Amino acid sequence: MWQPATERLQHFQTMLKTKLNVLTLRKEPLPTVIFHEPEAIELCTTTPLMKTRTHTGCKVTYLGKVSTTGMQFLSGCTEKPVIELWKKHTLTREDVYPANALLEIRPFQVWLHHLDLKGEATVHMDTFQVARIAYCTADHNISPNIFAWVYREINDDLSYQMDCHAVECESKLEAKKLAHAMMEAFKKTFHSMKSDGRIHRNSSSEEVSHEFESDDG
């Protein structure tokens, strides 16, 4: 059917307007999606980064270490080293000395997390192998809050030395708990080494752990 040019032009304009309206209506929800989508993505990626790693353990004041001599470690063998460390500590400490470390005793390792001035754990950590710990005790005359252990430190030339490490706990009970936890860690380490064949199967945990001391109070 033939239509005048003016009618065909009007029909074309009407169709064009209709299509533009449809396109406009379809585009209306887009700004909402574009606005909210990046916000949701940002929350998903940044929220886990805000979580800080927490450490379990006992807050202590690390007194340091001092070399000790001898191979037989009996009751009272840590008294002299602890007195030396305690005197050095009391000369430099203030009236209120905050905890500077977290002591975490695990089945095969002991972790000493050092704390910053805000009391938060730093990346610096000392690791002690439970199998190299020769003696531990929470029984000291100078202070009942002190827990100490003798550790066999292996040097670069494969020689070794025995070092006495000591920490001051918040209470006598905390020091005792550390001693008991160390005993449990030693027993687990011993049974693991025995099952792996690294310790003679006729040996017992009591024979190997006679050097350890735990103050039950």
Residue 155 CA to residue 164 CA, distance in Å, equals: 16
Domain ranges of the chain: 5-14+56-192
Query: Hey, what are 202's tokens?
Result: 């006729």
Cβ–Cβ under 8 Å, residues 140 and 78: yes
Whether the per-residue pLDDT at 72 is higher than 90: the answer is: no
Whether the per-residue pLDDT at 40 is higher than 70: the answer is: no
Residue type, 155: N
The CATH class given to the 5-14+56-192 domain equals mainly beta
Residue 57 CA to residue 110 CA, distance in Å, equals: 10
Specify the higher pLDDT residue, 31 or 79: 79
The mean pLDDT value for 107-121 works out to 83
Q: Say what the pLDDT of residue 144 is.
A: 94
Confidence band for 117, pLDDT divided at 50, 70 and 90: confident
Q: Say what the pLDDT of residue 150 is.
A: 96
Whether the per-residue pLDDT at 175 is higher than 90: the answer is: yes
Q: Say what the pLDDT of residue 97 is.
A: 61
DSSP state of 151: E
The mean pLDDT value for 75-96 works out to 83
The mean pLDDT value for 73-96 works out to 83
The mean pLDDT value for 74-102 works out to 83
DSSP readout, 39-107? HHHHHHHHTGGGPPP---SEEEEEEEEEEE--S---TTTTHHHHHHHHHHHHHH--SS----EEEEE-S
